[in-house]
Amino acid sequence: MIDKNSPLPIYYQIQEWIRKKMDDGEWEPGDMLPSERIFAEQFNISRMTVRQAITELVNEGLLRREKGKGTFVAEKKLEQPLQGLTSFTEDMKARGFQPGNKLYEFRVTPPSRDVADALNMKKTDSVYELERVRLADNKPMALEMTSIHAGVVTNLSKDIAQSSLYNYIEQTLGLTIGHASQTLESALAGEKEAELLQIEAGDPILWISRKTHLQDGTPFEYVRSAYRGDRYKFSIHLPRST
Ligand code: 16G
């Protein structure tokens, strides 16, 4: 399988061999790879070469290393379209995952200056501040820090924050969610994001900030969400504009 006379570098041939095992479904997400030693013996090559091949696939996100355990086939990333104003609960259900929430923070406070600016609020108004880790089939996908205008979205409770906010706004309060604007920024997880998302500090994350309005234009939500870089890729449809 490894051709030492080939112009293709050996580490690259190992990578192609691993990719094929994954494409053929022989190795599935969660499966543990043989150790570097076994690989090296099997192909009669150095462990350094094996490590180089594997490290690149880890960097690509196809494999993941767990300290003290080994190297595993990574979960497939979830593809999230960027157009369309949907909620986390809707997105997960549409994919057949069980949506979940871990609520870390729930409080009512005066708005910070940023939030007051974003939501056109006065200093004397109140916001609900929620900190939630969003789960799919019990696995952490994103950390959301949400500020909700308490004068617009009324009577929010911990129970509601533990299920779907948008469902409450639309079905219970009878309000119509209209449009949102978002920005995306790549970053590395700090200690807090790492702990809550069950990743390592320094792992890649994507910050998405969303400001959401009701149909009549009233802004009601300002959210900052950290998405796990190993769980998400984002797609967008681009009609040609002239
Ligand atoms: C999404 C939205 C977030 C919204 C939440 C409501 C982004 C970046 N964020 O996660 O703004 O608050 O859905 O979800 O898309 P829920 O109805 O399940 O609580």
For ligand 1, atom 13: residue with the closest CA: 87
Q: List all residues whose CB is within 6 A of at least one atom of ligand 1.
A: 87-89, 144, 146, 164-167, 208, 210, 212, 221, 223, 225
Place of tokens 């009577």: 155
As for the ipTM of the complex, it is: 0.98
Instruction: Please give the domain boundaries of the chain with CATH numbers for all domains.
Output: 10-73 (1.10.10.10), 78-235 (3.40.1410.10)
For residue 200, how far is its CA from the centre of ligand 1 (angstroms)?
Answer: 24
Rounded Cα gap, residues 57 and 12, in angstroms: 10
Query: Given the CA of residue 208, which atom of ligand 1 is nearest to it?
Result: 8
Q: What is the pLDDT of residues 132-185, one digit of tens each?
A: 999 999 999 999 999 999 999 999 999 999 999 999 999 999 999 999 999 999
The whole-number pLDDT of residue 75 equals 87
The whole-number pLDDT of residue 193 equals 96
The whole-number pLDDT of residue 205 equals 97
Q: What is the pLDDT of residues 26-56, one digit of tens each?
A: 999 999 999 999 999 999 999 999 999 999 9
For residue 60, how far is its CA from the centre of ligand 1 (angstroms)?
Answer: 28
Q: How confident is the model at residue 67 (pLDDT cuts 50, 70, 90)?
A: confident
